């Protein structure tokens, strides 16, 4: 059993959320988000997490930063350290000062990677046990992941992402517990598939349909998994594996290429992470 601690998550209300540019295949300015629906869906996720006993910290929304809601990309949290992202796209790089300021004022040590390498935080770097699994090529660089591994003294396994629709690791891979994860194999190159299969004994494969519903982009709180609606097979498989599944509609955020997980950043360590030992 995990120690008694209250899960803590950073979120950012979708005050200025919208589809204002196109930096991944899900985004189309012609198919904008419906503001009221997005706000209602975000609120439902927020309340679902509160209902699960999560303490949610809120970042102040900023005009002109429509993707600031995707706090998973702020950086990587490791204990009291915050390794700030270096976004590939300038439109998102403008979020960094806001994330850095929040972490600095909340007792975290804010650290930056050398210039000239890209790293998109928890969107591309997820612990499963003591190993940091790291997606690269589309957003983050393999070199940046090595640098992160050196900074925190952890083993990093770089995984090449090969499908544009699954451009961040958290769109196709979700650690549930040490040794257990959800994943969508076609999003990875053959070698990355081998790495995942060899390192994680209990794997739940997500089918094409549920992957496109962002089933892998789930938030894990204890033995409960919060996921977008419409992931029927995954829901069944998770329940079979002993998890409780809570579904909540997040279609307005799929339009930006995000879902439950991207809208959150765990501040006290993910359920699957083993930071010591």
Q: Of 168, 172, 174, 216, which one is the catalytic site residue?
A: 168
DSSP, res 53: T
Q: Which listed residue (20, 23, 143, 245) binds ligand ARG by CB under 6 A?
A: 23
Query: Is 262 part of the annotated catalytic residue set?
Result: yes
Contact between 72 and ligand ARG per CB under 6 A: yes
* Residue with the CB atom nearest ligand ARG in the bound state: 123
Q: Alpha-carbon distance 215 to 207, whole Å?
A: 9
Contact between 41 and ligand ARG per CB under 6 A: no
Site for ligand ARG in 175-234 (CB under 6 A): none
CB of 74 to ligand ARG, least distance (A): 10
With vertex at residue 67, the alpha carbon angle to CA 66 and CA 70, rounded to the nearest 5 degrees, is 145
Q: Largest alpha-carbon pair distance within the chain?
A: 49
CB of 64 to ligand ARG, least distance (A): 14
Q: Which of 138, 165, 183 is nearest to 257 (CA)?
A: 165
Contact between 123 and ligand ARG per CB under 6 A: yes
Task: Between 35 and 241, name the residue whose CB sits nearer to ligand ARG.
Answer: 35
Q: Alpha-carbon distance 9 to 125, whole Å?
A: 16
Q: Which listed residue (11, 177, 204, 262) binds ligand ARG by CB under 6 A?
A: 262
Two tokens, residue 170: 């958290």
Task: Between 142 and 241, name the residue whose CB sits nearer to ligand ARG.
Answer: 142
Q: Alpha-carbon distance 277 to 41, whole Å?
A: 39
Q: Which listed residue (41, 48, 65, 73) binds ligand ARG by CB under 6 A?
A: 73
CA distances from 197 to 12, 35, 47, 263 (A): 34, 41, 35, 27
Query: Is 216 part of the annotated catalytic residue set?
Result: no
Q: Which of 129, 239, 200, 191 is nearest to 183 (CA)?
A: 200
Q: How many residues does the chain have?
A: 277
Residues that bind ligand ARG (CB under 6 A): 23-24, 27, 67, 70, 72-73, 92, 123, 168, 170-171, 256-258, 262
Report, as residue numbers or ranges, the catalytic residues. Answer: 168, 262
């Amino acid at each position: 059993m995990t120690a008694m601690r209250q899960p803590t998550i950073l979120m950012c209300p979708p005050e200025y959320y919208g589809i204002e540019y196109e930096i991944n295949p899900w985004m189309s300015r012609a198919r904008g988000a419906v503001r009221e629906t997005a706000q209602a869906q975000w609120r439902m996720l927020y309340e679902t997490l509160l209902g699960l006993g999560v303490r949610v910290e809120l970042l102040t929304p900023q005009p002109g930063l429509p993707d600031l809601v995707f706090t998973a990309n702020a950086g990587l949290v490791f204990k009291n350290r915050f390794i700030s992202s270096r976004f590939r796209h300038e439109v998102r790089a403008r979020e960094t000062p806001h994330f850095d300021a929040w972490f600095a004022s909340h007792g975290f040590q804010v650290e930056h990677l050398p210039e000239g390498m890209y790293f998109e935080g928890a969107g591309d770097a997820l612990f499963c046990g003591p190993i940091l699994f790291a997606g690269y090529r589309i957003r983050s660089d393999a070199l940046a992941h090595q640098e992160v591994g050196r900074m925190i003294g952890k083993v990093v396994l770089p995984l090449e992402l090969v499908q544009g629709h699954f451009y961040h690791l958290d769109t196709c891979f979700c650690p549930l517990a040490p040794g257990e994860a959800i994943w969508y194999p076609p999003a990875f190159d053959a070698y990355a598939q081998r790495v995942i299969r060899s390192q994680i004994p209990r794997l739940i494969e997500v089918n094409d349909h549920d992957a496109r519903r962002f089933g892998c982009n789930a938030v894990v709180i204890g033995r409960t998994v919060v996921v977008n609606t419409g992931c029927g097979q995954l829901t069944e498989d998770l329940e079979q594996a002993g998890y409780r599944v809570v579904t909540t509609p997040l279609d307005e955020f799929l339009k930006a290429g995000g879902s439950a997980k991207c809208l959150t950043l765990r501040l006290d360590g993910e359920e699957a992470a083993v930071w010591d030992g």
